[in-house]
Amino acid sequence: MALPVHPIDPAHDLPDLLARLDLVTGHLELIGRLDRATAHLLQDAVSAMLLSDCERWTIDVTAATVADHHGLRAVAAAYRRATRNHRQLTLRGASPTLQRAALQLGGSERAVHPGEVCPN
């Protein structure tokens, strides 16, 4: 008995969010949609960074879209976790809207370069 063969569509096999994490440098690059379905990937990456010795973290969202309030909450939770654990987090490549939201989470506009937010 032969099973039906369905062609593989690479577009549907890719995750909505790709997270590239370098634990040595504390650099996390997010590519894709950060939303309700993918926010756990950011939370997992932050958990991994907490296990490292790196005190300065960078989350690069240049190629990411924070698509809903769950994605924004995940970013806010990353800041809170970094602060509670005496780590500094820089958000790189943020849109103006995301920059404003991140600054409202307790940030300061001093020492922030265009496209970067470092609220703690």
Task: Assign 106 a pLDDT band (cuts: 50, 70, 90).
Answer: very low
Task: Specify the amino acid at residue 92.
Answer: R
- Choose between 76 and 63: higher pLDDT: 63
What pLDDT sits at residue 68?
Answer: 87
List Cβ neighbours of 46 (8 Å cut-off, separation of 6 or more): 77, 78, 81, 82
> CA 60, 66, 72, 74 torsion: positive or negative?
negative
Q: How far apart are CA 91 and CA 108, in angstroms?
A: 13
For residue 107, is pLDDT > 60?
Answer: no
Gap between the Cα atoms of 14 and 18, Å rounded:
9
Query: In the prediction, which pLDDT does 58 show?
Result: 94
Residue 77 forms beta bridges with which residues?
none
Q: Which residues pair with 17 in a beta bridge?
A: 32
Least confident window among 34-38, 71-75, 107-111, 115-119: 107-111
